[in-house]
Amino acid sequence: MNPASANDVKKAIRDRIAEIAKTLGNNARSLKDDDVIPEASLLDSAGIMELIMWYEAHWDLSIPQQDLTIENFGTVDAMAAYLRQAGK
Amino acid sequence: MPTPLRIPRINNNDDTVRLTSILVQPGDAVRAGQSLAEIETDKATFDVEAENEAYVLSILHQPGETVEVGSVLFWLGAAPDEAVPHTETAAAETATAATGGTVAEPTLKASILLADYDLRADQVPSSGPRLTAANVESFVRQRGLQLVKQRTAQAEEPPAMLPSASGTHMPLTPEERGMLRTVVWQRDVAVPGYVEIQYDPAPWEAQATAYQKREKLLLSPLLSFMAWRLVRLAAENRQWNATITGADKYVYNSVNLGFTVQSGSTLYLAVVQEADQMTLPAFLDRLGLLQRAAVGNRLKPFEMSGATISFSSMARWQASRHIPVLPPNTAIIAAHAATRDGIATLGATYDHRILSGFDAISILRGMIAPEESD
């Protein structure tokens, strides 16, 4: 993945987080790429699940349940890295 | 029309019982609940009681006899001079011939159909060891019977009143039909009650946070933990994991946990089948997969059916309490809500035909704090 598309990936993830957070009455504009998403109080568990479902559909991935860890999906950076490892 | 009163099954393993006494004579008027005879097995003595007011028309066995479970003991009628079926044995055994003299136990679907048509299991012949829905449907079709509810509706329900404002008729979506079936079941079948209790959510939150950190989970297991607690309570108290079919209580063999998941405008009830036979990690894993499938609108039909108890939360929308509708054939649905000033409310809608208010409160009290084994 080249740097430009890596930035595109992160932007897409941040935008989606902002959309979901808005439905919960939260403003996610200040979320940084290395902020831990579950600790940022922007998305609840159901919101994070929506984010994962979107992530799978957007990049045509099927994420095994055991891969749903803080390490792989806890930050915007981690989610972009997981995509790289998956060859997307 | 004469109705048979059959020898009841007392123990699953006993196909015969000893008739110890007859307490009435032909021609006697009996009331509902009156003991008509006494029977015994090696383990218990039991009274055979009249189900309705009636007259005793004939008695087919004598004290001291060993009689088969399901065989006719009395013929009862609305008048003392009603004719007893002339071929008593043949008439009495019609509904049980296929099962060799015993009343075939109906499946759940068959039980529901029997209730819908106001039939008893002993009135319908079975084609095998169990009385199936197909057996009941065939019996009903051959006799041109009508649904009791349909008969009632035709007799009593006033003509539908259309709204006075202009509008457009639109067919219901599958999800809307599902919701309609659910709310109509609660309205027409269950006897819903609601109870709630306030609690300090901090112990649950602490346990969930500790587990999430230890297992490096992306998602908090808080709601899953509370749902798991409900599963354990139902597993330890089987009488709560039940519903009513016709005139009987139907105790489920397993605990199937229904868990509500909102996906867009659709509310799903994802069902973890046989949750009581899982370990906690397996339950968390399975529930997680079902939640993901629900959010992605990918639940399969069997993953949305068969719930025996349920759990719902509206905490994500900051609802401080909500009164959920009972999923069909469940006895209770727990209602988790948002915390306010350090206190949360846990409620439950329950079917009063199965659970008393005390039962419902006992369930909630069992859910408001984790146990060491959780």
Per-residue model confidence as pLDDT tens digits over B161-192: 778 899 888 888 877 887 888 898 898 889 99
pLDDT in tens, B33-85: 888 999 887 666 778 988 888 999 989 888 888 888 778 899 998 888 888 76
For the record, the structure tokens of B78 come out as 């609305």
Distance, in Å, from the CA atom of B330 to the CA atom of B310, rounded to the nearest integer, reads 7
Average pLDDT over residues B205-232: 95
For the record, the structure tokens of B338 come out as 């948002």
Report whether pLDDT(B157) > 90. Answer: no
* Optimal mutation site among B204, B213, B216, B219, interface A, most CBs of chain A within 10 A: B219
The pLDDT confidence band at residue B261, using thresholds 50, 70 and 90, is very high
**8 Å CB contact between B223 and B204:** no
Average pLDDT over residues A22-34: 91
Tell me if chain B has a CB within 8 Å of the CB of A55. Answer: no
The pLDDT confidence band at residue B95, using thresholds 50, 70 and 90, is very low
Report whether pLDDT(B113) > 80. Answer: yes
Q: Do A56 and B219 touch (CB under 8 A)?
A: no
Q: What is the pLDDT of residue A56?
A: 93
Comparison of pLDDT for B16 and B182, the residue scoring more: B182
For the record, the structure tokens of B120 come out as 């008893």
Report whether pLDDT(B27) > 90. Answer: no
Distance, in Å, from the CA atom of B203 to the CA atom of B222, rounded to the nearest integer, reads 10
The pLDDT confidence band at residue B345, using thresholds 50, 70 and 90, is very high
Distance, in Å, from the CA atom of B130 to the CA atom of B120, rounded to the nearest integer, reads 14
Distance, in Å, from the CA atom of B374 to the CA atom of B281, rounded to the nearest integer, reads 11
pTM of the predicted model, to two decimals? 0.65
Q: What is the pLDDT of residue B373?
A: 61
Average pLDDT over residues A64-84: 94
Q: What is the pLDDT of residue B93?
A: 45
3-state secondary structure chain B: CCEEEECCCCCCCCCEEEEEEECCCCCCEECCCCEEEEEECCCCEEEEECCCCEEEEEECCCCCCEEECCCEEEEEECCCCCCCCCCHHHHHHHHHHHHCCCCCEECHHHHHHHHHCCCCHHHCCCCCCEECHHHHHHHHHHHCCCCHHHHHHHHHCCCCCCCCCCCCCCCCCHHHHHHHHHHHHHHHCCCEEEEEEEECCHHHHHHHHHHHHHHCECCCCHHHHHHHHHHHHHHHCHHHCEEEECCEEEECCCCCEEEEEEECCEEEEEEECCHHHCCHHHHHHHHHHHHHHHHCCCCCHHHHCCCCEEEEECHHHCCCCCCCCCCCCCCEEEEEEEEECCEEEEEEEEECCCCCHHHHHHHHHHHCCCCCCC
Q: What is the pLDDT of residue B82?
A: 82
Which of chain B's residues have a Cβ under 8 Å away from the Cβ of A49? 219, 291-292, 295
For the record, the structure tokens of B188 come out as 């027409």
Report whether pLDDT(A25) > 50. Answer: yes
Say how many CB pairs under 8 Å bridge A and B: 51
ipTM of the complex: 0.86
Q: Identify the closest residue of chain B to A71 by CA–CA distance.
A: B216
Q: What average pLDDT is seen over chain B? A: 85
Report whether pLDDT(A1) > 70. Answer: no
Residue B254 CB coordination number (10 Å):
15
Comparison of pLDDT for A70 and B78, the residue scoring more: A70
pLDDT in tens, B71-87: 889 999 888 888 876 54
pLDDT in tens, B241-252: 999 987 889 999
Distance, in Å, from the CA atom of A55 to the CA atom of A9, rounded to the nearest integer, reads 10
Give the SS3 label for residue A29: coil
Spatial CA neighbour of B364 closest among B337, B342, B327 = B337
Distance, in Å, from the CA atom of B180 to the CA atom of B172, rounded to the nearest integer, reads 9
Phi, psi (5° rounding) for residue A29? -65, -30
Tell me if chain B has a CB within 8 Å of the CB of A36. Answer: no
Report whether pLDDT(B94) > 70. Answer: no
Helix B222-236 vs helix B202-215: angle between axes, to the nearest 10 degrees? 110
Spatial CA neighbour of A70 closest among B287, B213, B221, B211 = B213
Share of chain A above pLDDT 70, in %: 95
For the record, the structure tokens of B74 come out as 């009395």
Give how far A87 is from chain B: nearest CA, Å.
22
Phi, psi (5° rounding) for residue B77? -145, 170
Give how far B328 is from chain A: nearest CA, Å.
25
Give the SS3 label for residue A54: helix
